[in-house]
């Protein structure tokens, strides 16, 4: 996972304009912590040096739309814990979190676009 995330991060460096990642290098730390595993020092080091924008978006757990399927196997409790782990990890790394609104996908997209206006 780290190798793939680093490749994506490196590729984005040459792009102009905003780049949005669905997941980032800190997510690896969050999932390791959530799983009760130690975060290897090289993963922590990369998360501290390969920085994204100071502000990141977080899609908070939303019970009303929660569902399990062949791709999403987490229980409600696991999904809530994953959200909390990501919030804690990104905050600990010094990122400012902007939560996506509880709204339809179009409204969420509009929200993100408005936030990206410089």
Please report, rounded to a whole number, the percentage of residues in the chain having pLDDT higher than 70: 99
Task: Report CA 6 to chain centroid distance, whole Å.
Answer: 14
The DSSP bridge partners found for residue 97 are 56
Phi, psi of 23 (to 5 degrees): -135, 155
What pTM was estimated for this model as a whole? 0.89
d(CA 5, CA 87): 19
71-97 exposure pattern, b = at least 16 Cβ within 10 A, e = fewer: eeeeeeeebeebbebbbebbeebebee
pLDDT exceeds cutoff 90 at 21: yes
pLDDT tens digits, one per residue of 39-69: 999 999 999 999 999 999 999 999 888 888 8
């Amino acid at each position: 996972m780290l190798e793939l995330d680093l490749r994506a991060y490196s590729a984005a460096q040459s792009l102009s304009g905003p780049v949005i990642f669905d997941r980032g290098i800190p997510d690896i730390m969050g999932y390791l912590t959530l799983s009760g595993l130690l975060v290897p020092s090289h993963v922590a080091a990369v998360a501290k040096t390969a920085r994204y924008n100071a502000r990141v978006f977080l899609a908070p757990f939303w019970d009303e739309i929660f569902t399990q399927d062949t791709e999403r196997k987490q229980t409600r409790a696991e999904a809530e814990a994953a959200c909390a782990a990501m919030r804690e990890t990104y905050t600990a790394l010094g990122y400012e979190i902007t939560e996506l609104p509880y709204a339809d996908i179009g409204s969420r997209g509009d929200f993100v676009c408005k936030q990206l206006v410089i």
